[in-house]
Amino acid sequence: MAQGTGPIREARSIGRAVVTGGAGFLGSHLCEHLLDRGVEVVCLDNFLTGSPQNVRHLMERPGFRLIRCDVTDFVHVPGPVDLVLHFASPASPLDYLKMPIETLKVGSLGTLHTLGLANDKGARYVLASTSEVYGDPLQHPQDEDYWGNVNPVGPRGVYDEAKRFSEAMTTAYRTYKGTDTGIVRIFNTYGPRMRPDDGRAIPAFIGQALSGRPLTVAGDGSQTRSICYVDDTVRGILAMAFSAEAGPINIGNPDELSVLRLAEWITELTGSASPIEFIDLPVDDPKVRRPDSTRAETRLGWRPSVSSEEGLRRTVAWFAEELGGRSVAAG
């Protein structure tokens, strides 16, 4: 059950923010949007999955600072801090299956250290949790009161349980220390600055389509995902950051589509002649995924505004330029 429905904070009450994982895909967009709002940003990243390239365009902007830091070791930020956004973690199956211990450490020790920073500074704290806490859900769509169906000893358990633990730790700090915390459960987000090789469906499909390789669809492709363009996801996260809500609150687009349809759509948008090939379904791969976004709409006044077609078109165009690939099909 979510705690608190306090008033929306005034934007001017947050002057300086710390973003962990700020050189990652989602973190870099958060840094950019915060700077656009006039907030100073301290970006912390150990570059395990993030890259300085993602924030290179921010380096000359006033109020931005990039620091190499592993939050599982320590977190020290001198001066005032009004907001801590904990977004450090491997987030794609390919990454967290390669780095299971690092994933568990950033969800546990990293959360502990960043909560300690927020508590010491009297700052608002927002945890990036995930739809993966619902596992392979038996409830559809998934609302925030659903406890999930997670296999703790399966290959995906390192990420699922790291995030579930981090939610428990965040709640404990709120309950027992009075830290001003919020939890967002982020559903499948996509857009510019995703790594082509990060293993997630959208960058994998786009890369395959642009290079003329077969698009590899797991299983029969009937499993569903709900995809949300990165600008919409960031707006939802910042709506949470500037509120007094505790959450958890789902941030995701309820526009659900099958993985097979997603692959077909990307071949159409790229104008690719690539065929579709079916490969084995990964262990514990969720069969369905769609957020119940009622809480985000009623408590944060947030809903996605970028259609899946428009978001995919923008993402394909970015990848085509980034990879030097073929031109995007018009219209």
Residues paired with residue 17 on neighbouring β-strands, in sequence order: 41, 83
Total length of the chain: 331
Half-sphere exposure of 22 (CA within 13 A, CB side): 27
- Can the peptide bond before residue 141 be classed as cis, meaning omega within 30 degrees of 0? yes
Q: Are 27 and 43 in contact (CB under 8 A)?
A: yes
Helix residue ranges per DSSP H, the chain: 25-36, 93-98, 100-121, 157-172, 201-211, 230-241, 259-270, 294-300, 308-323
Q: Which is catalytic among the residues 159, 173, 190, 229?
A: 159
Token pair 């608002």: residue = 124
What DSSP designation does 41 have? E
The token pair that represents 23 in the structure block:
């050189």
What DSSP designation does 61 have? S
What does 254-311 look like in DSSP terms, one character per residue?
--EEEHHHHHHHHHHHHT----EEEEPPPTT--S---B--HHHHHHH-----S-HHHH
Backbone φ and ψ for 80, nearest 5 degrees, come out as -70, 150
The token pair that represents 90 in the structure block:
């491997």
Work out the number of other CB atoms within 10 angstroms of the CB of residue 242: 21
Q: Are 102 and 126 in contact (CB under 8 A)?
A: no
Is residue 173 annotated as part of the catalytic site, yes or no? no
Give catalytic residues, as residue numbers.
Answer: 159
